[in-house]
Amino acid sequence: MSVQTAISPAASTRPAHPPTLFSSYTLGNIVLNNRIVLSPMTRSRAIEGNVANPLAATYYVQRASAGLMITEGTQVSPQGVGYIRTPGIHSPEQVAGWQRITNAVHQVGGTIFAQLWHVGRVSHSDFHGGELPVAPSALPVEGEAFTLNGRVKIPTPRALETSEIRGIVEQFRKGAENAKAAGFDGVELHGANGYVLDQFLRDGSNRRTDAYGGNLDKRMRLPLEVAEAVAGVFGPSRVGYKLSPYFAGYSMSDSNPLVTFTTIAAELGKLGIGYLHVSEAIAGPAKIDSAVRATPSIRDAFDGTLIVNDGYDAAAAEAAIARGQADLVAFGKPFIANPDLPLRYRKGAPLNAPDQATFYAGEEKGYVDYPALSH
């Protein structure tokens, strides 16, 4: 008489060990080696014509052990420029410059997305031949622009005509086409930090009375049209969208951010985009009770991949992933100073300290000269 080992139903369906920061992850049809993301960070080192600096090939190759790298904000048109020495992706020279970088990254097995960017009103006439920056509404903006003439006050922008808005969609669509031609694996739409997509979404910056302003459905129209157009180029799974629910710089505000951002998260989910990248401080937004953090509600509203960012260290990132609060975690300043950040986190090794004086502009110093661990 044979003896069989009984297996309880509970045991047969028990989940495997929870994932860690170093577990692989499948984003659409891309397999990422780990769940560490290089956050997009402006470094202001582009060369003439807003072409990506050849040094950027070294910069991104040094950091290619990240599961996913997202480039610095890359403007989709001359109209989208708002900072000195930031790269674009709207001219043949810019596309060729980025192609050299993506080729170098792919040769070492890295995965890299371009962050598509239009600053809207966060700009200055110096960048636009004396013309005012554009925005959903002609509202004053607190803050300064960084131009070749130094820091200058951001002027009150001009409101886009309804007939011009389709052109913004086209700029992003063309930017996606150029990113694809340059060899990027996908793109992230910069819908955060007070730039043009964020400006249209929030009622503090959008006071329009046409089809692109007023209630939330109308304020979401431009961001969703842009997302749909770009998804038509790369396929939805290769498109991400960045959100910053409580960002308050550049006079940004919203009367009900929790509703606004969970609603657009759900609508972007209906388009099938690959991920949302949410920038929200781990301890809760400044002066906002942690109980109203938007990230948990966005997690519930969006079925795709969630990247979290802002204030995470290795332990906090591990905890967020293990608890299912996020799928991937993006790191900014630690990755500037530690090109081999995944290895350092895996080994529990000390981190280089970032040199804030070299974050923006300059050449090699503070860009490609941070030491890696000795092998």
- The CATH number assigned to the domain holding 351 equals 3.20.20.70
Instruction: Say how many domains are in the chain.
Output: 1
What is residue 128's predicted lDDT score, i.e. its pLDDT? Answer: 97
Q: Which amino acid is at 243?
A: L
Q: How far, CA to CA in Å, does 99 sit from each of 44, 94, 109, 303?
A: 19, 9, 15, 32
Q: Which of 171-185, 212-226, 289-303 has the lowest mean pLDDT?
A: 289-303
What is residue 5's predicted lDDT score, i.e. its pLDDT? Answer: 34
Q: What is the mean pLDDT of residues 325-331?
A: 97
Q: Which domain holds residue 323?
A: 20-358
Active site residues: 195
pLDDT at 157 over 60: yes
What is residue 13's predicted lDDT score, i.e. its pLDDT? Answer: 38
Structure tokens that stand for 129 in this block:
């031949």
Domain contains 135: yes
Angle at 260 between CA 254 and CA 263, to 5 degrees: 175
Domain contains 364: no
Domain contains 6: no
Closest CA relative to residue 91, chosen from 13, 27, 171: 171
Specify whether the CB–CB gap between 172 and 194 falls below 8 A: no
Domain contains 373: no
Domain contains 273: yes
Position 131 confidence tier, pLDDT thresholds 50, 70, 90: very high
Structure tokens that stand for 220 in this block:
């979401």
Domain contains 3: no
Residues 6+ apart with CB under 8 A from 250: 121, 122, 141, 142, 143, 154, 193, 194
The rounded Cα 154 to chain-centroid distance in angstroms is 23
pTM of the model: 0.94
Domain contains 372: no
What is residue 288's predicted lDDT score, i.e. its pLDDT? Answer: 53
**Between 94 and 288, the higher pLDDT residue:** 94
Structure tokens that stand for 274 in this block:
């690959």
The share of the chain scoring above pLDDT 90, in percent, equals 90
pLDDT at 164 over 50: yes
Position 284 confidence tier, pLDDT thresholds 50, 70, 90: low
pLDDT at 83 over 90: yes
Domain contains 374: no
For residue 224, the tally of other CB atoms under 10 A from its CB is: 18
Q: Where are the beta strands (DSSP E) in the chain?
A: 25-27, 30-32, 36-38, 68-75, 112-117, 134-135, 144-147, 150-153, 158-159, 186-190, 239-243, 275-279, 305-309, 328-331
C-alpha gyration radius of the chain = 21
